[in-house]
Amino acid sequence: MEDILKHSHSGLRWLALILLIITIVKSFAGWLGSKPFTLGDKKLALFTLISIHIQLVLGLVLYLQLVTNSTFDFAASMKDPLQRFFSVEHIVGMLAAITLVTIGYSTSKRAATDKLKFKKLAIYFTIALLLIVAMIPWPFMQKFTSYHWY
């Protein structure tokens, strides 16, 4: 079961990233090009929010499996870069990014003008994307440690 969750969480990140990037590009184009905020733009932002929250649920289930494991020692994990990454750094960074996506979506819904809606999405989602990219366990990061992610 844990392997299915890991692969789902790892694979669905691509959908979340692609939707996030598309939403950011369209938001900057709408903001800087003074385009109308359409129902399609609203749905794209909503699907991005949903995909990010699905990742949150999968990640939290994996995290709970990690910390409720009888052999898990939180204090010892702080000395191990790989364990520290997954038990602290990854989850804190991702929770911050998910919070930014949620705030960006919510504030854009309430914004008075189309330009302001695009601006809110562009700014919040871009900062969230930077956090997400920094906190993803990329394969090239393996050379910095002697461990393997998945």
Tell me: the pLDDT tens digits for 55-106?
A: 999 999 988 887 787 787 878 888 888 788 888 889 999 999 999 999 999 9
Residue 150 included in any domain: no
Residue 103 included in any domain: yes
Total domain count for the chain? 1
Residue 149 included in any domain: no
Closest CA to 40 of 32, 30, 54: 30
Residue 44 pLDDT exceeds 60: yes
Q: What is the pLDDT of residue 142?
A: 60
Residue 45 pLDDT exceeds 60: yes
Residue 150 pLDDT exceeds 70: no
Domain that holds residue 35: 2-144
Residue 90 included in any domain: yes
H-helix segments, 33-113: 39-67, 74-77, 81-84, 90-110
Residue 82 included in any domain: yes
Tell me the one-letter amino acid at 75: A
Q: Hey, what are 123's tokens?
A: 């700014």
Residue 141: pLDDT band (50, 70, 90) is low
